[in-house]
């Protein structure tokens, strides 16, 4: 179960608890999201392969990323961006997808300008843009300016997921988020952080292992940074496609660490991933009962109390609210492309 941050407006509409939650004072210091789009499984689909894109549209991944970067051969980059733009031109959208995204090439490659111009010139625009290998503030400024230019007069907001994939990117991440969070008048709005483990491992000269201990510190740091700014945090890919046990273990570890979702590269990884990053019925039931009991004690002027044998204080209530909000978002109406 992920520890996604609280969207209070959404919480107040959840499962008949809205009247109760309206009476609960929002604790100071809790970062809030503008809204919460579930991204439990973030599925990459090669932008150069229209057949795979069409097939992927029948899958039930929360977030589908039409990829112009790592999933595309160097000599297929132009074909990929044109194929993705052609797909976006159609009104059709994936049925089970809540977030249709695109991943451009890194700013440092010299390919990103053509990607942005082509993709944002489509008749129907994506919900989200992933920007890979971000390391410096000037790269974010460049992307923002290119997006504004490409959108022209169109009134469309894109959510931005910043991909941290190098040692320098992680080192500068706090400054990157400070800057991106200040871009309040931009149509590119910061929504999440994503950890690219393979590129990161290469950047520090580490060896990739099934236990992933070589990236443990980096993953933990990324979660802390994301949550400090009220953002989603998307975990690394499990590259061993045939090892479902490893996938489930890494999903459970990521969810326990506070990640809100995970990158996937094969349809078989979607269901286990989305299951791992969703509350179980038992967790949801307990969370709803805990919130109600908290409200009763609050009315009586009491602070900490005992619930089912455990001492409950405000951090415990926050965790319960996280569970309620995550369930509401997961079972809410999928977002639509514009």
Annotated binding site for substrate: 103, 165
Active site residues: 313
Instruction: State the number of CA atoms in the 13 A half-sphere of 49 facing the CB.
Output: 15
Structure confidence at residue 168 (pLDDT): 99
For residue 256, which phi and psi values (nearest 5 degrees)?
-65, -30
Residues 16-21 have a mean pLDDT of 49
Q: Classify residue 75 by its DSSP letter.
A: G
Structure confidence at residue 248 (pLDDT): 98
User: In the chain, where are the structural domains located?
Assistant: 18-30+278-338, 41-277
Instruction: Check if the beta carbon of residue 65 is closer than 8 Å to that of residue 52.
Output: no
SS3 223: helix
Place of tokens 């008749």: 123
Q: What is the pLDDT of residues 48-74, one digit of tens each?
A: 999 999 999 999 999 999 999 999 999
Burial 211-250 (b: 16+ CB within 10 A, else e): ebebbeebbebbbebbbebbbbbbbbbbeeeeeeebbbbb
Structure confidence at residue 9 (pLDDT): 37
CA–CA separation, 168 vs 122, rounded Å?
34
Residues 186-195 have a mean pLDDT of 96
Mean pLDDT of the chain: 88
Structure token digits, residue 321:
């609210």
SS3 306: strand
Burial 36-58 (b: 16+ CB within 10 A, else e): bbbbbbbbbbbbbbbeebeebbe
Q: What is the pLDDT of residues 139-169, one digit of tens each?
A: 999 999 999 999 999 999 999 999 999 999 9
Structure token digits, residue 168:
């320098």
For residue 193, which phi and psi values (nearest 5 degrees)?
-115, 145
**pTM recorded for the entire structure:** 0.84
Q: What is the pLDDT of residues 77-90, one digit of tens each?
A: 999 999 999 999 98
Q: How far is CA 20 from CA 12, 27, 38, 328, in A?
A: 8, 15, 24, 16
CA torsion sign for 169, 172, 178, 182 is negative
According to CATH, the topology of domain 41-277 is TIM Barrel (3.20.20)
Structure confidence at residue 35 (pLDDT): 59
Q: What is the pLDDT of residues 88-134, one digit of tens each?
A: 998 677 777 899 999 999 999 999 999 999 999 999 999 999 999 99
Annotated binding site for Mg(2+): 165, 199
**Spatial CB neighbours of 167, under 8 Å, sequence gap ≥ 6:** 200, 203, 204
CA–CA separation, 333 vs 338, rounded Å?
15
Apex CA 128: angle with CA 272 and CA 185, to 5°? Answer: 140
Structure token digits, residue 167:
């040692």
């Amino acid at each position: 179960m992920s520890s996604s941050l609280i969207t209070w407006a959404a919480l107040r509409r959840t499962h008949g608890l809205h009247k109760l939650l309206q009476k609960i004072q929002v604790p100071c210091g809790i970062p809030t999201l503008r809204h919460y789009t579930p991204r439990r499984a973030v599925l990459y689909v090669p932008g150069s392969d229209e057949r795979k894109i069409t097939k992927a549209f029948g899958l039930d991944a929360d977030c589908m990323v039409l990829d112009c970067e790592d999933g595309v051969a160097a000599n297929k980059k132009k074909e990929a961006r044109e194929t993705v733009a052609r797909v976006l031109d159609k009104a059709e959208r994936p049925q089970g997808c809540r977030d249709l995204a695109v991943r451009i090439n890194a700013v440092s490659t010299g390919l990103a300008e053509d990607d942005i111009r082509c993709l944002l010139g489509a008749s129907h625009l994506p919900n989200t843009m992933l920007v890979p290998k971000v390391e410096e503030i000037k790269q974010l400024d460049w992307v923002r300016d290119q997006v504004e230019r490409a959108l022209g007069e169109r009134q469309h907001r894109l959510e931005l997921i910043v991909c941290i994939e190098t040692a320098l990117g992680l080192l500068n991440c706090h400054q990157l988020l400070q800057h991106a969070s200040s871009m309040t008048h931009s149509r590119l709005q910061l929504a999440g952080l994503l950890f690219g483990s393979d590129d990161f491992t290469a950047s520090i000269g580490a060896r990739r292992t099934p236990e992933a201990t070589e990236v443990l510190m980096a993953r933990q740091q990324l979660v802390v940074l994301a949550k400090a700014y009220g953002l989603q945090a998307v975990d690394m890919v499990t590259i061993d496609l045939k090892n479902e046990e490893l996938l489930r273990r890494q999903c459970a570890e990521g969810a326990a660490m506070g990640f809100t979702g995970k990158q996937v590269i094969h349809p078989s990884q979607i269901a286990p991933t989305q299951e791992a990053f969703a509350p179980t019925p038992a967790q949801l039931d307990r969370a709803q009962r805990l919130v109600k009991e908290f409200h009763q004690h609050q009315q009586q002027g009491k602070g900490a109390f005992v619930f089912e044998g455990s001492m409950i204080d405000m951090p415990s209530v926050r965790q319960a609210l996280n569970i309620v909000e995550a369930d509401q978002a997961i079972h809410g109406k999928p977002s639509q492309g514009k």
